[in-house]
């Protein structure tokens, strides 16, 4: 049991770093709970999404402090993403009991690879329109509610592909993740599929990781962050496809 706890602590720390450094890192919390515990898919999703309430709040506060969430364009996109999450997340929670986890994992793994390619091919930065932001926000919320991953896993690469700067995308995704995690937590609590003890074991080190990742994001150049984002997406794709 001690080894399981240690593994979950390490996984939580790495997940937190990934959330604010590159975005998709939050999926590691879901991966850790799936690999190292005997929780059902619904319990894994519910327990993982609980941890993202605190990480989303802390991540948002960090990006307010560094200025990204005080920029009008970033705040506008964050507001649209959050509003879409109110509708999309409950749908994802509802779909959790209906959709084949295996089939979804294959689709999500393929999607991660496609997004990685588009991030690599991305051209100049440009403003993200409201319809595009709304579509991204709704789609990300459904997926996050369905499998319990943090919103930044998909929101960051999609916003980057749409033309948003990496730091702005990271900031906007943190704001959306608060809504996704809050609404998702309520849904999974009502279904009785949250393990609060394991959520604390993963979530506390995850908070420490969020601050470390935020510092990393501001210390590295944009090109390095994009390369890291692509590497993470390519790295998690096989896991999602094989262990969904």
What share of the chain has pLDDT > 90, as a percent?
Answer: 40
| 235/37 Cα distance (integer angstroms) | 22
Q: What is the mean pLDDT of the chain?
A: 86
Tens digits of residue pLDDT in 97-116: 676 666 666 766 777 787 77
Higher pLDDT among residues 110 and 67, named by residue: 67
Minimal CA–CA distance to 10: which of 169, 205, 144, 218? 205
| pLDDT given for residue 122 in this prediction | 60
Q: Take residue 119 and report the two structure tokens written for it.
A: 């991030």
Cα pseudo-dihedral 165, 167, 169, 171, rounded to 10? -150
67: left (phi over 0), alpha (psi -120 to 50) or beta: left
CA 107/CA 136 separation, integer angstroms: 17
> By percentage, how much of the chain surpasses pLDDT 70?
90
Other CB atoms within a 10 A radius of the CB of residue 65 amount to: 11
pLDDT in tens, 219-235: 988 788 778 878 877 88
Rounded Cα distance between 171 and 155, Å, is: 10
What backbone torsions phi and psi does residue 40 show, to the nearest 5 degrees?
Answer: -75, 165
- What pTM, to 2 d.p., does this model score? 0.84
SS3 assignment for the chain: CHHHHHHHHHHHHHHHHHHHHCCHHHHHHHHHHHHHCCCCHHHHHHHHHHHHHHHHHHHHHHHHHCCHHHCHHHHHHHHHHHHHHHHHHHHHHHHCCCCCHHHHHHHHHHHHHHHHHHHHHCCCCCCCCHHHHHHHHHHHHHHHHHHCCCCHHHHHHHHHHHCCCHHHHHHHHHHHHHHHHHHHHHHHHHCCCCCHHHHHHHHHHHHHHHHHHHHHHHHCCHHHHHHHHHHHHHHHHHHHHHHC
* 125 Rama sector, left if φ>0, alpha if ψ -120 to 50, beta otherwise: beta
């Amino acid at each position: 049991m001690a080894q399981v706890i240690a593994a979950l602590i390490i996984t939580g720390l790495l997940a937190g770093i990934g959330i604010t450094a590159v975005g998709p890192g939050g999926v590691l919390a879901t991966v850790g709970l799936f690999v190292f515990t005997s929780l059902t898919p619904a319990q894994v999703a519910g327990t993982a999404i609980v941890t993202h309430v605190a990480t989303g709040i802390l991540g948002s506060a960090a990006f307010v402090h560094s200025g990204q969430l005080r920029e009008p364009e970033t705040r506008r996109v964050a507001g649209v993403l959050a509003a879409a999450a109110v509708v999309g997340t409950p749908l994802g929670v509802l779909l959790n009991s209906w959709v084949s986890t295996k089939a979804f994992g294959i689709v999500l793994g393929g999607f991660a690879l496609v997004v990685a390619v588009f991030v690599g091919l991305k051209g100049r930065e440009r403003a993200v329109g409201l319809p595009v932001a709304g579509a991204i926000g709704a789609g990300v919320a459904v997926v996050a509610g369905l499998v319990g991953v943090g919103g930044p896993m998909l929101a960051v690469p999609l916003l980057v592909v749409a033309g948003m700067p990496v730091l702005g995308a990271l900031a906007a995704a943190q704001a959306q993740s608060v809504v996704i995690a809050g609404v998702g937590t309520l849904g999974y609590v009502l279904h009785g599929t949250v393990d609060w003890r394991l959520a604390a074991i993963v979530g506390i080190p995850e908070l420490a990781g969020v601050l470390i990742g935020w510092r990393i994001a501001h210390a590295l150049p944009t090109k390095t962050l994009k390369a890291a984002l692509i590497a993470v997406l390519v790295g998690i794709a096989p896991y999602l496809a094989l262990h969904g």
